[in-house]
Amino acid sequence: MAYESERGAMVNEQLVPRGIGDKEVLAAFRKVPRHEFVPRSLLKDAYGDYPLPIGEGQTISQPYMVALMTECLGLSGVEKTLEIGTGSGYQTAILAELAKTVYSVERFQGLSETAAEHLNSLGYKNVHLKAGDGTLGWKEFAPYDRILVTAGAPDVPKSLLSQLKENGRLVIPLGSAFSQVLMIVEKKSGKFFYKEMGGCVFVPLVGKEGWEVKDGAG
């Protein structure tokens, strides 16, 4: 049970002191085995206070950033949630613990497949994954109560705004390709209200309504 104590230390040393206070969010971080989502060669770093490479030039986000984004979503257990940027699937698992259903889109097929294997082997049944351009959302199951984008965008993709429910909430890092501000966007009476949650650094959201495609993945 070595990993259980590492998870406890991650929560107590990285999340709580930085202001993550939601008890359900902290419980999810104590429960979800982050080490199952990192490459075997980086197992000893699984609970470190930093992002890690997961292949295709992408990263599993730093635990604190995953926690902050999750807390910003304000989940109560009933929400249909859309995630853009499945990556390792770790954030997806955290969302699956706290929301009713999670739909998650990843542009790299290989990452989506690996994430699916890990989520299946942990028994998550309320998760639906697909490979594709998430800047266009996932129309088939829209609208969503919550939308989380885990890659940095120049602007909020219009498709995502149109797939957000009334009284819904979208969380997205907005800015340049190198640094962003984490934003909460709320939809009230058909209007969008923006709130800044602080600086962050994410890999770019690449797609039709994001940054230009340069690597031919999708």
| Residues ≥6 apart with Cβ < 8 Å to 206 | 107, 151, 212, 213, 214, 215, 217, 218
**Both structure tokens of 130:** 């697909």
Task: Name the minimum Å distance from CB 84 to ligand SAH.
Answer: 5
Bridge partners, residue 52, by sequence: 60
Note whether 112 binds ligand SAH by CB under 6 A: no
Angle at the Cα of 72 from the Cα atoms of 149 and 47, rounded to 5 degrees: 75
Cα(68)–Cα(145) distance, integer angstroms: 18
Residue 152 is a binding residue for ligand SAH (CB under 6 A): no
Asked if 150 is part of the footprint of ligand SAH (rule: CB under 6 A), the reply reads: yes
In contact, 159 and 143? CB cutoff 8 Å: no
189 in active site: no
The tokens of 13 are what? Answer: 């040393």
Q: Which is nearer to ligand SAH, 135 or 180 (CB)?
A: 135
Q: What is the residue-wise DSSP string for 137-186? A: --GGG--EEEEEE-SBBSS--HHHHHTEEEEEEEEEEEE-SS-EEEEEEE
| Closer of 59 and 180 to ligand SAH (Cβ) | 59
Q: Around Cβ 64, how many Cβ atoms within 10 Å?
A: 19
- 5, 41, 61, 88: the catalytic one is 61
# residues near ligand SAH by CB under 6 A: 26
Member of 11, 15, 105, 147 binding ligand SAH (CB under 6 A): 105
Which of positions 57-76 make contact with ligand SAH (CB under 6 A)? Answer: 58-61, 66
Residues 193 to 212 in contact with ligand SAH, rule: CB under 6 A: 203, 205-207, 210
Assess 36 for contact with ligand SAH (CB under 6 A): no
Q: Which residues bind ligand SAH (CB under 6 A)?
A: 58-61, 66, 84-85, 87-88, 90-91, 105-108, 111, 133-135, 150-151, 203, 205-207, 210
Which of the residues are catalytic? 61
